[in-house]
Amino acid sequence: MGSEVCVLALFAKRLLRKFITRYLKAITSAGPNFGAVLFWDFFTRVMYGVTTTFLEDVWSRNFLNLFATPLSISEYLTGLVLTSIVTSSIGLIVMLVLATAIFGLSFFAFGLMLVPFLLVLFLFGIALGIVAAGIVLRLGPASEWFIWPIPALLSPFAAVFYPLSTLPTWMQYVSYILPPAYVFESMRTILAGGPARPASLLLAASLAALYILLATWLFARIHRHTIRTGLLARYSAETLS
């Protein structure tokens, strides 16, 4: 299964190149939104902030000890989210400072819309991180390889490097259920001198909040299943190296 996921990630990267090339051929004086790459990296860091904290408990074989205490699922997930907030915020500040000082990229062009942009990406990153942690919890420590290519697999649909109009119709339908697609489309509209899209961002924020609720429910359900079936014992019995 590991090789299959690597092949999918490689295919996603090649797909990205294809759509980027198509987009660059279609534009004239306007260039691609390179600032969007930094925002996508922020989203990736948020997701990895949740999953890496979870995996550190797995790698240290401390996961079973945590749930031998009165710690609730909501408290544990809150800890994962708070850790992700700290790590992703530090990374974002460093990236913004370097991008402004070295490359001259200005993010003040977005104005107050910068806040909902980051909020939507943060919420969806948290939701995806919780889902990824649930996948490892359900399938076992050896399945951690499955979560690392997830951002690469989603990026062709998120319209990070090109407009949604560049994608085939069936891919656009998938993009409509991904909150980042609304963020990057709104960013392009603002940079092109168009008006902000508060309605689309509100929809994106609503989708992201819904995904957090679904991800939390899924993680709690998987946790109950692992306890009921005894699968939780794998995290102290299996060799995690």
CA separation for the pair 90, 92 (Å, rounded): 5
Burial label for 169, CB within 10 Å (0-12, 13-18, 19+), is exposed
| Per-residue pLDDT band at 13 (split at 50, 70, 90) | low
Mean pLDDT, rounded, for 170-197:
87
> Taking 70 as the threshold, does the pLDDT of residue 236 lie above it?
no
Q: Is 168 helix (H, G, I), strand (E, B) or coil?
A: coil
Query: Between 180 and 190, where is the model more confident?
Result: 180
CA separation for the pair 46, 85 (Å, rounded): 7
Mean of per-residue pLDDT scores for the chain = 79
- 165, 83 in Cβ contact below 8 A? no
Find where tokens 């961002």 sit: 201
- 230, 144 in Cβ contact below 8 A? no
- 204, 179 in Cβ contact below 8 A? yes
- pLDDT digit string (tens) for 116-153? 888 999 999 999 999 999 998 888 877 888 888 899 88
The two structure tokens encoding residue 183: 């963020």
> Taking 80 as the threshold, does the pLDDT of residue 157 lie above it?
yes
45 φψ region: left (φ > 0), alpha (ψ -120 to 50), beta (else): alpha
- Closest Cα to residue 199, out of 107, 111, 108, 113? 113
- 103, 137 in Cβ contact below 8 A? no
Q: Looking at residue 216, what is its pLDDT?
A: 94
Q: Looking at residue 66, what is its pLDDT?
A: 75
- 167, 20 in Cβ contact below 8 A? no
- Closest Cα to residue 19, out of 168, 150, 149, 152? 168
Q: Which of 29-38, 163-172, 194-203 has the highest mean pLDDT?
A: 163-172
Q: Looking at residue 58, what is its pLDDT?
A: 81
Q: Looking at residue 20, what is its pLDDT?
A: 52
Mean pLDDT, rounded, for 188-200:
80
Proportion of the chain in helix, strand, coil states, percent, rounded to 5: 80, 0, 20
Mean pLDDT, rounded, for 112-117:
81
The two structure tokens encoding residue 12: 């996603």
Mean pLDDT, rounded, for 155-173:
88
- pLDDT digit string (tens) for 46-79? 999 999 988 888 887 777 777 777 778 888 888 8
- 214, 127 in Cβ contact below 8 A? yes
In 75-112, which positions are buried (b, 16+ CB within 10 angstroms) versus exposed (e)?
ebbebbbebbeebbbebbeebbeebeeeeebebeebee
| Per-residue pLDDT band at 29 (split at 50, 70, 90) | very low
- pLDDT digit string (tens) for 73-100? 888 888 888 988 888 888 878 877 776 7
